Structure 1
Amino acid sequence: MSTTPPPPTRSAGIRAGAAEHPADGGPSGWLRALGPRGRRAFGGAFGGYALDSYDYFTLPLTMVALAAYFGLDSGQTGLLTTVTLVVSAVGGALAGVLADRVGRVRALLLTVITYAVFTVACGFAPNYETLLVFRALQGLGFGGEWAVGAILVAEYASSRHRGRTLGAVQSAWAAGWALAVIVYTLVFSVTGDDLAWRVMFWTGALPALLVVWLRRSVHDAPEAAAARVRDPGKGSFTAIFRPRTADGPGLMRTTLFASLLSTGVQGGYYTLATWVPTYLKDERELSVVGTGGYLTFLISGAFLGYLTGGFLTDLLGRRRNIWLFALLSAVCILAYADIPRGADTLLLVLGFPLGFCMSAIFSGFGSYLSELYPTAVRGAGQGFTYNTGRAVGAVFPTTVGFLADGWGVGGALVFGAIGYGIAALALLGLPETRGKELA
């Protein structure tokens, strides 16, 4: 694939890659404002993130079958998620630096290939230890995909529409989650559990189709490509930890607080994403079809939450949107875990606001983290902070796993609410960035 960026098509003074009518409003104004190349970049990032989500959720959805097949306790199954998220911090940080050095699209290709290959490999695991290794290696690609894809689209989006544009990219996570639930319901309905979990992992080969399209159709935003030519090799971890000096403000404070923000939000989110399927199937004693039905409400809320949160992050600002949904997410977790046994209708209905709030808080992340860093180190900054949050936040699902033996999964889920409190506190050390141009 050629690394030469396509020539700008706009006149001087207007960002290359923008549409002919960047001020277009309406529900789809953000999409028109991207322009043709930006829309192809959006399609690539959306598809990559949806399939990233699909490959991730093969584990939570098959966790009960895996535990039975290998004879695992709750702590061991929780460790499968934790190792994925911890290694994803390494993969995400490396992918971010790579995106700064060789380009966003090339880095995106490598992340998609990595998570697809090792998801399929999980389906061939002969024992728990091998599965743990394959899941860790899957985390290398899983960690980098979102950060690279979000940067790719953010650099095409105008400041006016960036929040809702990146919120739409985030909604791909719900789309991939929904696809995983559909496939899970079909596979586990027609195949015995001992084979079904392997089949679920083998379907992780789907991203290979996306790779072909990415290679042919998607290019870096011209300004980002030009910055890489002017400052080759600038992406580095050293730059994002540079302290304040007489020559400039430095980025250390930003990096530390952004990492803490990411830790809180993702600690809460992955607690729910990992353990709700087990909670529904084991403690609420729902069937495979019943679990899929309840997750449909949760995922529907998540999809609308991403889109709504994207709109609100442009309307209210990045920080206010995160503050609002950190509070609402914590309240929803406490309410969901406290639903009495037998109140299955309430459990079904409350899944919608739970999915809505825990997803809406993510909608501002793509735009916010992109705006916190200059172009030369945007990949390194966003890749490191987002995925460090994943790694440290991974302690939450494992803690729930160990607490579940004594408290039950439902009782242990309240631990996720602590994560949202951490996120709210982290915002005190970060600026508002709404309206910032990325040129």
Structure 2
Amino acid sequence: MFEWYKTGSPRERKTFWACFSGWALDTYDAQMFSFLLPTLMAVWQISKGEAGMLGTAALLSASLGGWIAGILSDRYGRVRILVFTICWFTAFGALAGFAQSYEQMLVLRTLQGLGFGGEWAVGAALMAEVIRPEHRGKALGFVQSGFAIGWALAAVLMTALLANLPAETAWRVAFWVGVIPAMFVLFIRRHVKDPEIYRQAASQVTRKASLASAFGPDVVRLTLLGAMLVTGLQAAAYTIMVWLPTLMVQVRGLKPGPVVLTMLIMCAGAFAGFILTAYLADRFGRRPALLAFCLGAWLFTMLYMLVPMSPTALMLMSFPVGLFATGIFAVIGPFLSELFPTHIRTTCMGFSYNLGKSLGALSVAAVGVLSESFGLAQTIGGFCLVAYALAVTAVLLLPETRGLRLDAIIHRLQPTAADAPSTVQQPARPE
């Protein structure tokens, strides 16, 4: 599992830490806000609908930001845009700590979301283009595990701040604390460089990436299927992460302390899931890993929602729920990066991932509405069934890409005049 890091070059290791830290910081900022919503509702006397709009605005702007950042990354370089996106969402997060009204917070959260959307696609492509093909799944899986670290950090820090500071101060400090780890961008600027494969592709391609690149005739089917895959996985993940605390308190009757502990156990399961899924994706393939984890996620989610359990069993069962439902995302980075040629990779990845993320987020509101008639546990289970069925359909229609050489994709999709039919390289697989 760790051989890729032990035998990796200094460049591979530095790139890993840059992408890992960026993703953990991104997740911390995003998850932190969910813990702060009750406090903001009380401080500013806003309704649930207005509070929901704060979260929705950031998600919708993240979709646009991911697409724009992907285009800019293909045009101007991975590292430059990665640094820019981290600085962007950190700066607007710090400014959000100074907000004096709901309207100001809505504007700042919308602007902050532009940076959230851009960081994932750029970081995933950067890591994919640096790491060796046979270890791409494991390396990007470890990058994705930064999600669990950021999530756990948000849970612990928000609980501590809200318990020890006045509500009017705690939420502001929570936003300002996010500036500290963002100092890591100085490390990125100094030690991480654009991959050689990107520099070669950028020098050879005369037509730069644009808004229309994701819909080119060679990639439009892959772009839309990628978005369909992410939509299914994100719909299920958002449903579980957002509504699970409410389910545990209102339906299962847990107290706040056990709820926090349950969420931390789920974070631990997510971390283990990222590592396990990453290994399986490199060992058996992207599609088998995705199909197996979709099935496991749905089964454990249904058990968790519909089978009566003691508080202790609920806490313990949260581990496999986190392992399957969240750990499955370790495959998304390498899988999407292997579908598209280098010169438009982040453009297509940014569109697919963030469109799927935005569509998947709609499940949060839908569950809230339907649960009034069908019950919260039953609605979550039903939504997860539909979401994972959607993801499985996309997986079955997408090609297997394990071991694919990224520099071979451009030849496969865009043969040049210099590439005679007999010399076109085929995707290389590890020995």
Identity value in percent = 39
- Match of 2:170, as an amino acid? A
Identify the residue that residue 330 of structure 1 maps to in structure 2: 298
Unaligned runs of 5+ in 2: 408-431
- Measured after TM superposition, the shift of residue 281 of structure 1 is 4.9
- Kindly indicate whether the alpha-carbon contact (under 8 Å) linking 2:287 and 2:396 is maintained by their aligned counterparts in 1: no
Rounded to whole Å, the distance in 1 between the matches of 2:107 and 2:305 is: 32
Name the structure with the higher helix share: 2
Shift in alpha-carbon separation, 1:154–1:181, aligned structure 2, 3 A: same
Deviation per CA, 1:76-97, whole angstroms, max 9, x where unpaired? 4333332222211111111111
Whether 1:162 and 2:136 are equivalent positions in the alignment is yes
Shift in alpha-carbon separation, 1:355–1:307, aligned structure 2, 3 A: same
* Aligned counterpart for 2:156 among listed residues 157, 174, 182: 182
How much is the aligned-residue C-alpha RMSD, in angstroms?
2.1
- Match of 2:164, as an amino acid? V
Shift in alpha-carbon separation, 1:281–1:84, aligned structure 2, 3 A: farther
TM-score by length of 2: 0.88
Identify the residue that residue 83 of structure 1 maps to in structure 2: 57
- Match of 1:267, as an amino acid? A
- Measured after TM superposition, the shift of residue 193 of structure 1 is 3.3
Identify the residue that residue 119 of structure 2 maps to in structure 1: 145
Deviation per CA, 1:133-180, whole angstroms, max 9, x where unpaired? 222211111111111111111001122111111101000110111111
* Aligned counterpart for 1:136 among listed residues 92, 104, 110: 110
* Aligned counterpart for 1:51 among listed residues 20, 25, 43: 25
Rounded to whole Å, the distance in 2 between the matches of 1:87 and 1:32 is: 39
* Aligned counterpart for 1:376 among listed residues 320, 343, 351: 343
TM-score by length of 1: 0.87
Identify the residue that residue 240 of structure 1 maps to in structure 2: 214
Identify the residue that residue 430 of structure 1 maps to in structure 2: 398
Within-5 A mapping of 1:31-430: 31-231=5-205, 234-243=208-217, 250-281=218-249, 284=252, 286-340=254-308, 343-404=310-371, 409-414=376-381, 415-430=383-398
- Measured after TM superposition, the shift of residue 435 of structure 1 is 1.3
- Kindly indicate whether the alpha-carbon contact (under 8 Å) linking 1:396 and 1:416 is maintained by their aligned counterparts in 2: no
Unaligned runs of 5+ in 1: 1-26, 244-249
Number of matched residues?
406
Shift in alpha-carbon separation, 1:67–1:402, aligned structure 2, 3 A: farther
Shift in alpha-carbon separation, 1:182–1:365, aligned structure 2, 3 A: same
Rounded to whole Å, the distance in 2 between the matches of 1:221 and 1:402 is: 47
Shift in alpha-carbon separation, 1:173–1:93, aligned structure 2, 3 A: same
Shift in alpha-carbon separation, 1:78–1:327, aligned structure 2, 3 A: farther
Shift in alpha-carbon separation, 1:393–1:331, aligned structure 2, 3 A: same
Deviation per CA, 1:297-333, whole angstroms, max 9, x where unpaired? 1000000000000001112211111111112212222
Shift in alpha-carbon separation, 1:190–1:233, aligned structure 2, 3 A: farther
Within-5 A mapping of 1:8-23: none
Rounded to whole Å, the distance in 1 between the matches of 2:106 and 2:370 is: 21
- Measured after TM superposition, the shift of residue 339 of structure 1 is 4.7
Shift in alpha-carbon separation, 1:402–1:210, aligned structure 2, 3 A: farther
